[in-house]
């Protein structure tokens, strides 16, 4: 499409095959020509950046924000589209993976495990475990919701030092080999299933989503998205706590945050139930009494939170900023009787005249 951020490819062929290989957070498409004089295969490597997906649909009903389209020759035609509303995703020509990404947690598990345990001296593991899990050099494929689910299942505080957590795994693995180095592969698998550690969950938790029957991540299909929300045990779940890590990303957890938690920040809990405000009685004649809190924050007194989603949105953006909120939204005053209104205006005039020195206070 005209607004796509990816480059145009030199590949030209009337008939070709599209194949794909995934590695961590990257996807490589290969276009292979089917004609006798077809050009060499063309590779496109995609980076999604929190959004973007591929969708197969009728060519006459293209979805919005379909930035790349592969058309079939059948009748009626269909289109394989790369759909990305926020345009965070991008692609580049060539077959090389990004250099700073380690082995994939899903398709290269053994290499991924060795890459972590053999490099524990790296300064990347001086950070809290929740921040180390987002380092794609060692945890290629782990994102924000996955790190919350992994740490929650093992009851590991998110701000525990990463090296402290992972060195224990290294010691356990060495002891296991010393006890019985002749274990068969099937017995090793059984032991892993009984005593799952953090690196194993980095493989099994993403696999739960990959092997699901439905496309859990499609927000346009409410049933599928509801199934994904039901699968979540910690991330965005009511009753769980949340904090921002040192890079500003929100981590969800249960219990204590850990010794390396950012200073000056307290964990926030997601509400278990939607907050409601009692409706005002239209026939009541008594003027509404304004509390201390509502004087300081008229927005809070005037507009209650509509749902848990609104609270979560404020948490993600760091809460309402002072000044801006007052400029955008004004609290609607409660209807008052004529006599209190006259007294209010009189009091204001007296205060103004006293400040200017023109009258008596």
Number of other residues whose CB lies within 10 A of the CB of residue 79:
19
Q: How far apart are CA 203 and CA 148, in angstroms?
A: 14
User: Does the domain made of 109-216+224-270 have the CATH classification 1.10.8.50?
Assistant: yes
Q: How far apart are CA 135 and CA 115, in angstroms?
A: 13
For residue 319, what pLDDT is reported? 43
Q: How far apart are CA 351 and CA 233, in angstroms?
A: 57
Biggest alpha carbon distance in the chain? 100
For residue 7, what pLDDT is reported? 86
- pLDDT above 90 covers a percentage of the chain that reads 45
CATH of 16-93, one of 3.40.50.1970, 2.60.120.10, 3.20.190.10, 3.40.50.720: 3.20.190.10
Q: How far apart are CA 207 and CA 161, in angstroms?
A: 26
For residue 78, what pLDDT is reported? 96
Q: Give φ, ψ of 128 to 5 degrees.
A: -60, 150
Q: How far apart are CA 42 and CA 94, in angstroms?
A: 7
Write the DSSP string, 234-275. Answer: STT-TT-EEEE-TTS-EEEESS---TTPPTT---EEPPSS--
Average pLDDT, 10 consecutive residues per value, the chain (361 residues): 82 90 92 90 87 88 90 92 87 89 95 96 97 97 96 97 92 65 53 72 93 63 74 95 96 96 91 55 40 43 40 37 47 48 50 54 41
For residue 195, what pLDDT is reported? 64
118-127 long-range CB contacts below 8 Å, 24 or more apart? 120/163, 120/166, 120/167, 120/170, 124/162, 125/161, 125/162, 125/163, 125/166, 126/161, 126/162, 126/163, 127/161, 127/162, 127/246, 127/260
Distances (CA, A) of 288 to 34, 115, 202, 294, 340: 77, 65, 55, 12, 11
For residue 141, what pLDDT is reported? 94
For residue 53, what pLDDT is reported? 84
Q: How far apart are CA 134 and CA 341, in angstroms?
A: 58
β-pair partners for 104: 140
Number of other residues whose CB lies within 10 A of the CB of residue 187:
11
- Give the tens place of pLDDT for each residue, 249-288: 999 999 999 999 999 999 998 887 654 444 444 444 334 4
Q: How far apart are CA 348 and CA 344, in angstroms?
A: 6
Give the closest residue to 256 by CA, choosing from 130, 111, 157: 157
For residue 222, what pLDDT is reported? 58
- Provide the whole-model pTM: 0.67
Q: How far apart are CA 135 and CA 119, in angstroms?
A: 13
In the chain, where the domains are located:
16-93, 109-216+224-270
SS3 126: helix
């Amino acid at each position: 499409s005209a607004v796509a951020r990816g480059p145009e490819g030199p590949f030209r062929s009337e008939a070709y095959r599209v194949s794909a290989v995934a590695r961590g957070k990257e996807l490589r498409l290969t276009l292979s020509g089917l004609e006798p004089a077809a050009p060499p295969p063309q590779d496109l490597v995609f980076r999604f950046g929190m959004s973007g997906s591929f969708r197969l649909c009728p060519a006459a009903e293209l979805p919005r924000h379909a930035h790349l389209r592969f058309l079939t020759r059948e009748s009626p035609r269909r289109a394989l589209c790369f759909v990305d509303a926020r345009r965070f995703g991008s692609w580049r020509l060539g077959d090389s993976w990004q250099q700073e990404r380690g082995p994939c947690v899903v398709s290269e598990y053994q290499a991924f495990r060795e890459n972590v345990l053999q490099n524990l001296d790296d300064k990347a593991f001086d950070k809290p475990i929740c921040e180390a899990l987002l380092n794609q050099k060692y945890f290629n494929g782990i994102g924000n919701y996955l790190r919350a689910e992994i740490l929650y299942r093992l009851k590991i505080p998110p701000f525990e030092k990463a090296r402290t957590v992972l060195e224990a795994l290294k010691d356990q693995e060495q002891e296991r080999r010393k006890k019985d180095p002749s274990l068969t592969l099937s017995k090793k698998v059984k032991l892993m299933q009984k005593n799952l550690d953090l690196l194993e969950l980095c493989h099994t938790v993403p696999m739960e989503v990959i092997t699901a029957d439905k496309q859990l991540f499609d927000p346009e299909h409410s049933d599928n998205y509801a199934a994904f929300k039901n699968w979540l045990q910690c991330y965005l779940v009511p009753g769980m706590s949340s904090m921002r890590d040192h890079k500003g990303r929100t981590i969800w957890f249960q219990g204590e945050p850990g010794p390396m938690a950012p200073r000056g920040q307290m964990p926030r809990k997601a509400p278990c139930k939607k907050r409601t405000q009692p409706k005002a009685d239209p026939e009541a004649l008594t003027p509404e009494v304004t509390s201390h809190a509502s004087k300081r924050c008229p927005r809070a007194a005037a507009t209650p939170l509509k749902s848990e989603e609104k609270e979560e949105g404020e948490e993600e953006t760091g809460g309402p900023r002072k000044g801006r909120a007052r400029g955008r939204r004004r609290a609607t005053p409660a209807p008052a009787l004529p006599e209190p209104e006259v007294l209010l205006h009189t009091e204001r005039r007296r205060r103004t005249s006293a400040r200017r020195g023109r009258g008596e206070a």
